[in-house]
Amino acid sequence: MTWASVAPAVGEIFLTFAICAVLLIDAFAGEKRRGLTPTLTLLALAATAALMVGVGQVGGHVVLFNGLYVADPLADVLKFAALLFVAVGLLYSRSYMSQRGTDRGEYYVLTLTALLGIFVLASANSLLTVYIGVELLALSVYAMVAFDRDNGIAAEAAMKYFVLGAIASGMLLYGMSIIYGITGSLGLDEVAMRLGATHGAGAILGLTFIVVAVAFKLGAVPFHMWLPDVYEGAPTNVTLFIATAPKIAYFSLALRLLTHGLIGTEHEWSLMLGVLAVLTLVLGNVVAIVQSNLKRMLAYSAISNVGFIILGFVTGTQAGYAAALFFTLAYVLVTLGTFGVILLMTKKGFEADRLDDYKGLYSRDPLLALVMMVLMFSTAGVPPFLGFWAKLWIIQQLWATGHIWLVIIALVVSVIGAFYYLRIVRLMYMDPPGASQPLPEWQPGVRLAVGVNGLVVLVLGVLPGWLLALCSRVLH
Amino acid sequence: MHGFGLLSVLIWLPILAGLVVLLLGERSIRAGRWVALLASIATFAISILAYTGFDTSTASLQFVEKLSWIPTLNAFYGLGLDGISLPLVLLTTFMTIPVIIAGWTVIEQRPAQYYAAFLIMEGLMIGVFSATDALLFYFFWEAMLIPMFLIIGIWGGPRRVYATIKFFLYTFLGSVLMLAALIYMYVQTHDYSIAAFQALPLTLLQQRWIFLAFLLAFAVKVPMWPVHTWLPDAHVEAPTGGSVILAAIMLKMGGYGFLRFSLPITPDASRELVMLVITLSLIAVVYIGFVAMVQQDMKKLIAYSSIAHMGFVTLGTFGIYAVVAATGSLSGAVLGVDGAVVQMVSHGLISGALFLCVGVLYDRMHSREIASYGGVVNVMPYFAALMVFFGMANSGLPGTSGFVGEFMVILASFKASFWFAFLAALTLILGAAYTLWMIKRVIFGPVANSHVAQLTDLNGREFLVLGVLAAAVLLLGLYPAPLLNIMEVSVHHLVQQAVHSKLPL
């Protein structure tokens, strides 16, 4: 094996070394140099991106490590997006963590291991690689949820997440073992070749377990139970993490497993996903209406948005998957900004997670209110914001493939969803401020980043052409 | 491909000016006001260029722009005007100026954002009227909801939150159905241009569904009975400027949608379901006329009167099928559509002016109740003269623009059926009854109470605004030829499209 032959995997290789280095340096740096680890982590992310651009042969299509790993344009897009989202997320979280004394080095190490898991999933080309990626990501995130170990609610959330997540991993592994038993191979290419359109009931059994696991990871109804508790219970910086980069990884999980390895069972899985999507869209949107906790409301909003991503898979066409990819990226970008605003609002002893905390935000902090409004209208799918195109493209692909009932359901739930996003805007702009709300902190750097985040959602909403073209090209 | 041109300037100039006002912020509101006023005047001046440069001898689109926008979806940044959209663009640029002036000293809370919202909305509304690409049309159509949502919700009356959420969700629901129809057609044409949709052959079944989706979207906007209930709430709670824009322009988008989408894209379904629309229109004219009569609140009364008057627009638009069926010739149909467009422009001026009149009273007394007033003529003679004039125009007095549109539509419906014309003509009685009765109770009689006695007459700013509007109403009423002249060829073309069946013989 020569260096040139592993160059496309430079991102993962460098990240692995960086994780070890950060862990060691943090252990020796001690309490005095608190700022060192975050800086090193951000540098590692930047270096990863630079190396991928420099030597990673971006845009090529190669299969490495005996078929375990694939480097293709899709993986490149997912990895760069994950890098960006993780880096910006760390920037948003910094002050929240230092206020609560949770900005310890381990958090950054866990973030990097989770990111490595995302990378592995993005490039997975074998059932084995898929499983390694899933576990690497999931175990890191369980620990992150429990990071504030004196917080009872967070510990409870972590426990729920871990137990249910372990069951899902078991399901995934069991499904994979059945598929392996039938095809005699772990590589997704061979599985796809041997599992043709004619297959026995065994393949369906294996597929069912895998779909359940994927649905659990994405948070699709009825496998969503963990999601609201984890979103609400976890420290907000961890909620931000869970709500952003891992969604990209789980998109890849669904895409690589279902539309590549198990493509022979497309008829079955698109039926299963269709049912899941309807349940997810309806329950997510309806239950979100009655929430009074913002993080919990965003959890149900996440569930309903996952419904749209799944709809992209139901189409069974490359264009539909491209629409799902676009939706995922758009949704994560908007969610990142939303949690950025929430984190800016918090103070020590003030979590800013109740809807009432946003009353009259406009008069206290116009910029944050404006950004939040842009993000809420975007999630509701109103032009001229990015979220509109995400929904439009999914619905267009559903029409193109003749799923008329799904189109109607998607449209109706969009209107229902608009109600609770509008409610946030209403609280911020039209209600008088509450009595005991502290002023948000003035952190110029983070403020600027959140502002740019909102601006990007607007600019991409007016000129979405290149991002659509990119998504459609990488999934051609 | 054509580059950036006149229409792009018309759309983006007010939007950019709005952003400038927003960035100037509340502290430099003096400068912000002038930027807003100058931008709205400049936009109007540029739209006059579109009027003078418009070629009335062709029905094809003019000032065309077409730039690649979203290649993946084959959507273009396509703009163009014809004889139907030009008057509405002019109406938009014209009516924004009084709105800016009317808010000059009245808006005390966050004035910079108030002006920014109206300027941005002006650009978006011009975008709606000039888009030739359905996706771009929808983009502007929906984006416009956001500033209006904020205008009602922030600067509105006591129940503003309820009103604005109702407004948003009603229109949003209607719009997504239209979006479904647009996407459905796109899937067949792979082209979002409206012209491609108009040329797309559709079976009767397909047309029926598309027609119903459009009907709901546009009917909510017009608004037609029975999906009108958001309008009185929105009008009552909106600030004066919001009411003016809502009544003068946003309602016209529904009428414009019928003309641009429903008639040419689904001609056979329109013909088949025409009785449905005519019935709804006549209910709006007659029943809502009675509802208007019993209102206690001036703004509510004018809101209901708007619904009744917009009934003429839908009657004139869809009456063409009944006229052609009855007479076999197109001339009566052209008259109906002409009447509908004239009525849209005229109603834009008159209802806008009436809301401004109510605004003048409200700024002084902080009451919209008819019962709070009486004998205003004794203390505000100039104001009383203008309000009586607009009241007359609203009841369709000959010589005002209100007469022209209604008369043309009634004439056209006479050719279809005596009973249509009879019911439509009831408005001449009902409209006069509810408008003049309100005028009588508010303006005439002895001075009702001490608050009225302390009222001061119009200041120069208010007089200017109402005076210009009065001149426009009078001009259009006495000499509507320039407007009809612009529309003539385009309306002919539209009627031909509308009666040309898409079904295979």
Q: B397-438, pLDDT tens digit by residue?
A: 888 888 888 888 888 888 888 888 888 888 888 888 889 888
Residue A16 Cα, gap to closest chain B Cα (Å): 38
Compute CA A182 distance to the chain's CA centroid, rounded to the nearest angstrom. 32
Q: From the CA atom positions of chain A, what is the Rg in Å? A: 21
Amino acid B1: pLDDT = 41
DSSP A385: S
The helix (H) or strand (E) run that includes residue B64 is strand B62-70
Amino acid A436: pLDDT = 67
Residue of higher predicted confidence among B333 and A196: B333
A389-428 in b/e form (b: 16+ CB < 10 A) is bbbbbbbbbbbbbebeebbebbbbbbbbbbbbbbbbbbbb
Look at residue A317 and tell me whether its pLDDT is greater than 60. Answer: yes
The reply to whether residue A411 touches residue B176, judged by beta carbons under 8 angstroms, is yes
Q: Which amino acid is it at B263?
A: L
Look at residue A246 and tell me whether its pLDDT is greater than 80. Answer: yes
Residues of chain B with C-beta less than 8 angstroms from the C-beta of A378: none
The answer, for B205 touching chain A at a CB cutoff of 8 Å, is: no
Residues of chain B with C-beta less than 8 angstroms from the C-beta of A377: 146
Residues of chain B with C-beta less than 8 angstroms from the C-beta of A413: none
Amino acid B256: pLDDT = 93
The model's pLDDT over B130-170, given as tens digits with 9 standing for 90+, comes to 999 999 999 999 999 999 998 888 888 788 888 888 889 88
Binned at pLDDT 50, 70 and 90, residue A421 comes out as very high
B136-147 in b/e form (b: 16+ CB < 10 A) is bbbbbbbbbbbb
Amino acid B3: pLDDT = 53
Contact A329, A248 (CB under 8 A): yes
In angstroms, the CA A344 to CA A352 distance is 9
A with B: how many residue pairs have Cβ under 8 Å apart?
81
Look at residue B356 and tell me whether its pLDDT is greater than 80. Answer: yes
Based on the number of CB atoms within 10 Å of its own CB, is A360 exposed (0-12), middle (13-18) or buried (19 or more)?
middle
- Put simply, whether the predicted model's pTM sits higher than 0.80 gets the answer yes
Residue B158 Cα, gap to closest chain A Cα (Å): 11
Contact B310, B235 (CB under 8 A): no
Binned at pLDDT 50, 70 and 90, residue B4 comes out as low
Look at residue A33 and tell me whether its pLDDT is greater than 80. Answer: no
Residues of chain B with C-beta less than 8 angstroms from the C-beta of A384: 139, 143
Please provide the average confidence, as pLDDT, over all residues in chain B: 88
The model's pLDDT over B251-285, given as tens digits with 9 standing for 90+, comes to 999 999 999 999 899 988 888 888 898 899 888 88
Binned at pLDDT 50, 70 and 90, residue B471 comes out as very high
The model's pLDDT over A384-397, given as tens digits with 9 standing for 90+, comes to 999 999 999 999 99
Q: Which amino acid is it at B315?
A: L
Alpha helices (H) in A365-438, listed in sequence order: 366-380, 386-400, 404-430
In angstroms, the CA B160 to CA B233 distance is 8
Amino acid B423: pLDDT = 86
Amino acid A442: pLDDT = 77
Look at residue B444 and tell me whether its pLDDT is greater than 50. Answer: yes
Residues of chain B with C-beta less than 8 angstroms from the C-beta of A416: none
Q: Report percent pLDDT > 70 for chain B.
A: 99
Amino acid A454: pLDDT = 93
Q: Which of A373, A415, A458 to mutate to test the interface with B (most CBs of B within 10 A)?
A: A415
Amino acid A282: pLDDT = 93
Please choose, from the candidates B133, B136, B239, the residue with its C-alpha nearest in 3D space to the C-alpha of residue B195.
Answer: B133
Residues of chain B with C-beta less than 8 angstroms from the C-beta of A464: 70
Please choose, from the candidates B240, B251, B231, B222, the residue with its C-alpha nearest in 3D space to the C-alpha of residue B166.
Answer: B231
Two tokens, residue A408? 């109607």
On the CB side of B182, CA atoms within 13 Å amount to 26
The model's pLDDT over B194-227, given as tens digits with 9 standing for 90+, comes to 888 888 888 888 889 999 999 999 998 888 888 8
The model's pLDDT over A333-354, given as tens digits with 9 standing for 90+, comes to 999 999 999 998 888 888 888 8
DSSP B445: S
In angstroms, the CA B390 to CA B356 distance is 11
The model's pLDDT over B171-184, given as tens digits with 9 standing for 90+, comes to 898 899 899 999 99
Contact A158, A145 (CB under 8 A): yes
Choose the closest CB to B154 out of A400, A429, A463.
A429
Look at residue B60 and tell me whether its pLDDT is greater than 90. Answer: no
Q: Which of B8, B11, B70, B145 to mutate to test the interface with A (most CBs of A within 10 A)?
A: B70
What are residue A350's DSSP bridge partners?
A347
Amino acid A193: pLDDT = 87
For residue B189, the chain A residue with the least C-alpha distance is A400
Look at residue A303 and tell me whether its pLDDT is greater than 90. Answer: yes
Please choose, from the candidates A136, A338, A332, A351, the residue with its C-alpha nearest in 3D space to the C-alpha of residue A235.
Answer: A351
The answer, for B161 touching chain A at a CB cutoff of 8 Å, is: yes
For residue A383, the chain B residue with the least C-alpha distance is B143
Strands A62-64 and A69-71: antiparallel
The answer, for B71 touching chain A at a CB cutoff of 8 Å, is: yes
First to last CA, chain B: 37
**Which ipTM was obtained for this model?**
0.91
Compute CA A238 distance to the chain's CA centroid, rounded to the nearest angstrom. 12
Amino acid A1: pLDDT = 61
Contact A129, A120 (CB under 8 A): yes
The model's pLDDT over A87-136, given as tens digits with 9 standing for 90+, comes to 999 999 988 888 888 888 889 999 999 999 999 999 999 999 999 999 99
The reply to whether residue A407 touches residue B73, judged by beta carbons under 8 angstroms, is no
Compute CA B269 distance to the chain's CA centroid, rounded to the nearest angstrom. 25
Residues shown for chain B: 505
The reply to whether residue B138 touches residue A383, judged by beta carbons under 8 angstroms, is yes
Contact B389, B460 (CB under 8 A): no
In angstroms, the CA A175 to CA A205 distance is 7
Longest alpha-carbon distance in chain A: 67
Choose the closest CB to B70 out of A418, A431, A465.
A465
The reply to whether residue A384 touches residue B139, judged by beta carbons under 8 angstroms, is yes
For residue B187, the chain A residue with the least C-alpha distance is A400
Look at residue B79 and tell me whether its pLDDT is greater than 80. Answer: yes
Please choose, from the candidates A391, A372, A410, A217, the residue with its C-alpha nearest in 3D space to the C-alpha of residue A294.
Answer: A372
CA torsion angle A142 A146 A147 A152 (round to 10): 170
Residue A421 Cα, gap to closest chain B Cα (Å): 11
Out of A43-57, B96-110, B463-477, least confident range: B96-110
Query: Average pLDDT in the A195-200 region?
Result: 77
Amino acid A98: pLDDT = 86
A186-216 in b/e form (b: 16+ CB < 10 A) is bbbeebbeebeeebeeebeebbbbbbbbbbb
Look at residue A172 and tell me whether its pLDDT is greater than 90. Answer: yes
Look at residue B319 and tell me whether its pLDDT is greater than 60. Answer: yes
Choose the closest CB to B142 out of A382, A407, A415.
A382
